[in-house]
């Protein structure tokens, strides 16, 4: 055990990262940045898993982080692909313009 970082600190950092990501998702208009903010949020979740895993000395947290990593990678791949398609069709990456699903 290295000089123990308290669990709370790790969780607070994860919380701050998650909030930053959320704020990014909410405020950014460029969909690329929205996607990046989403990545931040995912990583925040991952951090929380790691912290929890080390607190309970269980491998589950790290397994979940690996899962999240692959998920994030897949998401980025699909998301970027969609964004390219969207840009081709609508000539913009502004999500405010892209509100086709309005009821």
Find the binding residues for another protein in span 37-66 (CB under 8 A): none
Per CB under 8 A, 91 contacts another protein:
no
Q: Name the segment binding another protein (CB under 8 A); options: 58-66, 74-82, 83-91, 94-102.
A: 94-102
| DSSP-assigned states of every residue in the chain | --SPPPHHHHHHHHHHHHHHHHHHHHH--BHHHHHHHHHHHHHHHHHHHHHHHHHHT-SHHHHHHHHHHHHHHHHHHHHHHHHHHHHHHHS--BTTT--TT--
Which position among 22, 36, 50, 64 is part of the footprint of another protein (CB under 8 A)? Answer: 22
CB of 101 to another protein, least distance (A): 5
């Amino acid at each position: 055990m290295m000089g123990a970082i308290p669990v709370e600190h790790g969780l607070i950092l994860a919380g701050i990262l998650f909030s930053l990501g959320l704020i990014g998702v909410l405020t950014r208009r460029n969909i690329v940045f929205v996607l990046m903010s989403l990545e931040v949020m995912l990583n925040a979740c991952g951090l929380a898993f790691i912290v929890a895993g080390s607190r309970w000395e269980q491998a589950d947290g790290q397994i979940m982080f690996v899962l999240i990593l692959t998920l994030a990678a897949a998401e980025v791949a699909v998301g970027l692909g969609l964004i390219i398609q969207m840009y081709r069709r609508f000539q913009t990456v502004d999500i405010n313009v892209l509100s086709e699903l309005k009821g």
